[in-house]
Chain A
């Protein structure tokens, strides 16, 4: 039985040429009178770059906002960890950059699997983001003349990345958090830290269409489960890379908010588009809880190599002469060299390690690492210049590995990092559930099948500061203030569902920790739905995940109760959702019989091992709809390309 008949997907792209669509949208949107704004309440779940900027801006416009996060302070949202930088089409370097070029790079980087109208708008608002961030006190790197400095990043031939040492994310987040604090002090935003959203509440309008009108949360200290009503709900809950267990994301990052929304009828787009980042500290083995990213900016000055001969792999790298080294990225991709996009760099690194030419200790029978060597750059620019650029990254590397990368080349290996997939949204960033908006990494976003470096921060802030504050009021103006309250039956029924779910987790009373199931899920996905995929492996994964899910629900053990701080219960809830999402990722990967961006199907590659895209059959967004007990259905949003023809990507 179809629980939620899948809707016809209407991306609601405004009319007109690409460059005028956003202007047309702004001109046609309905407005809410300033005096009426306080009559509307908006829930924003998430306080990362997307959530904090949205909540602050909506509060500043005069709406009443409730903002939720699971950390003890909004400042700790995972955006804080971004290192490398944020893009904008300022062309401050006079090196040929423009909105058109940022647009084109993003389309190409995403391997023509993104919606071009959104991508154009992203490029268009990029400059205003930098202006705003500088005005609110973000201390970006400067040149001696006092102007903003730029660096280059993977997938681009211009220098358009703004940065603040290796902590661009923290500085941008502190900016958005400051704006949020101002609104909290002004009373327009009420902040709810340590509060986790566990479900979405939808309420039918006069025509029977269900709108998002609230959420159900659990307070992580008291365990109190309660419902909140609002006129619209915004999810800014970040990405789901933690489905792989080991990733560069913070430990608490989860898919629960978007997954529960999916289970309530929101379409989930391209779940299999997950990005594996090439420059992470290699895994060390047992007991590991996360993988640490080394900013991609390192590839600007570091050269990636492995020994030509596997016999050299355990030798001191300094003793391996030039002619016995394989600078495999420079060799395979002479035009971009070490700056090829992430998916390509990661696959190339995996390939040489799988050939037995990896370096570092054996982990799971394989040397998982390639060198990232700064010798040449230190000789060219001097030791001090390299320290100034990457000092904190070198320190981070040393503190983890105990090795000094100025003396011995760094070792890096790919790790799950970012998810391009997410809830489907239309041009207004609204999901298939009216009144449910999704911003930042949580939506399926503007990055197609692969995100370019320094563009997630740009997207999160573009969504929150500039786009949502235009599009969400249009929805409010059309629907008018609602009269729902948490006492309505729809809220009671979702509350009951959530309580039953929490009690169900606690009642399993088996023998295994949530973490052990999570680790097992991660291994399945990494092996079968990671950097390369094939039909046989995916079918197997779907089977294995099903079994694992059954084991989870019969053998999970959570000490303690629900009405207290219970970190095992928190984790178990997240893992339960990952166990469902992981299966959907495999289904999506299975159905997408082509290779594009980060999605590499072994059956679809060129003779020299590059991705073979199939624009005839797959130039679309795949959107999944939950059907309860029955398998989910897949609906497509066809993609059209009016500005640049979808040529095969070439970084050679």
Chain B
């Protein structure tokens, strides 16, 4: 743990959308294994700035695995596939001396590239705007304990609500589908009694918004769940499919 480590970061550089990108190698010699991967990028950037060169652009903020900003592809897998970790939670002690780490942006059709490792994930916001809410105004709510919620229901809702909106699932999917993301969002609210009145509308509207935003269809590869840093499982998708078909049927019957 205490011996320093040397490695190479091979980073995707691309000035902007539509221009040609390339890989650039940056060697780090004898740096602390306590550094996170993003701190290693910081070091590279300090060097680039000192040389008057444009630093590597990447999204990041909390650096503790909760804001979802830092998703990128590490050695071909979104978030690196090192267990339930986001990129910012990967520390160099997980690598071996001499390793080469390849960093690329999330590659998915709906996520337009902005620069280097930065992509536009706003289509995920669009899905939520379509119905990812419960319509209650401040002041309308009854006492919080009026509606009991069985503990396992609350816990499952929280499992689904743990999604950090990083977009890794979309980039891992060969179809560029946002099914796991949408399923987590719909599932969280639809499971709760408070979400019931709008459950059908929500499922229909959010799935539709997902299609509109250009995400691909789900063909049950399961790659999404494999890279989810919060461990959201494919069972969420089955739940959404049920909710969606039920809602579609009810909508049809009521026409």
Contact = CB atoms under 8 A, between A and B. Distances in A.
Given A60-B137, A73-B122, A469-B138, A181 B129 contact: yes
Interface in B129-157: 129-130, 132-145, 147-151, 154-155, 157
A224 interface: no
Nearest to A191: B125
B132 A135 contact: no
Contacts, number: 221
Given A131-B143, A286-B32, A289-B63, A515 B46 contact: yes
Given A72-B59, A559-B52, A140 B192 contact: no
Contact of A81 (B2, B40, B48, B64): B64
Interface stretch (B66-74, B95-103, B172-180, B237-245): B66-74
B195 to A, nearest CB: 6
A92 B124 CA distance: 37
Interface stretch (B18-26, B112-120, B213-221): B112-120
B141 A178 contact: no
Contacts of B32: 284-287
B201 interface: no
B162 interface: yes
Interface residues of A, number: 82
A402 interface: yes
B35 interface: yes
Given A185-B129, A288-B39, A395-B84, 14 more contacts: A128-B141, A136-B133, A137-B189, A139-B161, A146-B150, A167-B66, A167-B162, A179-B133, A182-B135, A250-B62, A250-B67, A287-B35, A290-B64, A565-B114
B251 to A, nearest CB: 19
A237 interface: no
B3 interface: no
A33 B120 CA distance: 39
A139 B157 contact: yes
B34 A284 contact: yes
Q: Main SS of chain B's interface residues? A: loop
A27 interface: no
Closest 7 pairs (CB-CB, A-B): A146-B148, A135-B141, A178-B133, A284-B34, A131-B141, A76-B67, A139-B158
Given A170-B164, A565-B118, A178 B128 contact: yes
B243 to A, nearest CB: 15
Interface in A384-403: 395-396, 399-400, 402
A557 interface: yes
A412 to B, nearest CB: 15
B161 A171 contact: yes
Nearest to B35: A287
B43 A287 contact: yes
27 contacts: A53-B138, A57-B137, A72-B122, A76-B61, A76-B165, A78-B61, A80-B67, A81-B62, A135-B136, A135-B141, A135-B142, A139-B157, A142-B150, A146-B148, A146-B150, A171-B158, A178-B132, A179-B133, A184-B129, A251-B62, A252-B61, A557-B49, A557-B50, A558-B49, A559-B53, A559-B55, A565-B115
A156 B79 CA distance: 40
Contact of A511 (B50, B68, B84, B122): B50
Contact of B61 (A134, A250, A396, A516): A250
B60 interface: yes
B38 interface: yes
Interface in A623-644: none
B6 interface: no
Contacts of B130: 185
A228 interface: no
Contact of B114 (A71, A81, A221): A221
A405 interface: no
B80 interface: no
Contacts of A177: 128
A548 interface: no
A560 interface: yes
Given A75-B68, A139-B154, A182-B133, A399 B128 contact: no
B151 A143 contact: yes
B158 A251 contact: no
Contacts of A182: 129, 133, 135
A165 interface: yes
A66 interface: no
B91 A399 contact: yes
Scoring B69, B142, B144, B158 by chain A CB atoms within 10 A of each residue's CB, the highest score goes to B144
A529 B153 CA distance: 48
Nearest to A361: B2
A181 B61 contact: no
Contacts of A147: 145, 148
B68 A81 contact: no
A90 interface: yes
